[in-house]
Amino acid sequence: MTTAARKQNFPYKRVLLKVSGEALMGKGPSGVDPEMVDMVAADIAAVAATGGQVCLVVGGGNIFRGLAAAAKGMDRVQGDYAGMLATVINALMLQNALEKRNVETRVMTAIRMEAIAEPYIRRRAVRHMDKGRVVIFAAGTGNPFFTTDTAAALRANEMECDALFKGTQVDGVYSADPRQNPDAERYAQLTYMDALSRNLKVMDAAAVSLARENSLPIIVFNIHVPGAFASVMRGEGRFTRIIETESSSEH
């Protein structure tokens, strides 16, 4: 771990942050909110500036959802490919916001499009991170039928990350949506099997299973709170940790 990272007391040296497309909408019904993109970039830049190695997987649900389109009659495979392209738009927006903050950033795509991004090559991505660059993985896994949650778990394991951080709309994992059910129970810690057996919808089952198989902790926090990413990286603030231990709840 770098000296700067030790000074910040980061328990994790290298992490992957999963940013959903919905998170980038801000308060709008769809599309990209530049202020929200800049806030997310500011949080990432703060972690990178103090020695943390960060890579990202970004979703595309704010622009296009393949599954939703398939439900309306579109071919599922074509819809998923369109969704992958939407993630590239979001990745480029985040790259632009990070580079405005003087953070060296590389976008790597699972679908080749060399004119705007590097093709995903694991060893090259690792070298970028070793040099302190932020790497944004776009286009999911490059395959239909796999979500960006699964892509996040896959890339986090390939990059040998110490944890997978998922930025959501609320400050952790609840027994139900706390925005609809004020009596929902909030969990401070869960096991992978808790998340799967209780169908808590933290991430899709394939992503949670992949994390479990590789003992990759999943940290769930509210990405809409300024500075939350850096705080949670230090083990501070409100979040839910999913690991292979007994669960506990926080009321």
pLDDT at 34 > cutoff 70? yes
Query: What pLDDT was estimated at residue 246?
Result: 58
* Contacts for 203 with CB less than 8 Å, ≥ 6 apart: 18, 149, 152, 153, 166, 195, 211, 218
What is the tens place of the pLDDT at every residue in 123-140? 999 999 999 999 999 999
Q: Round to whole Å and give the CA distance between 44 and 232.
A: 12
Q: What is the mean pLDDT of residues 91-118?
A: 97
For β-strands 248-250 and 186-190, DSSP reports them as: antiparallel
- The rounded mean pLDDT for the chain is 91
Domains contained in the chain, CATH given: 3-250 (3.40.1160.10)
For β-strands 118-119 and 53-58, DSSP reports them as: unpaired
Q: Round to whole Å and give the CA distance between 185 and 174.
A: 5
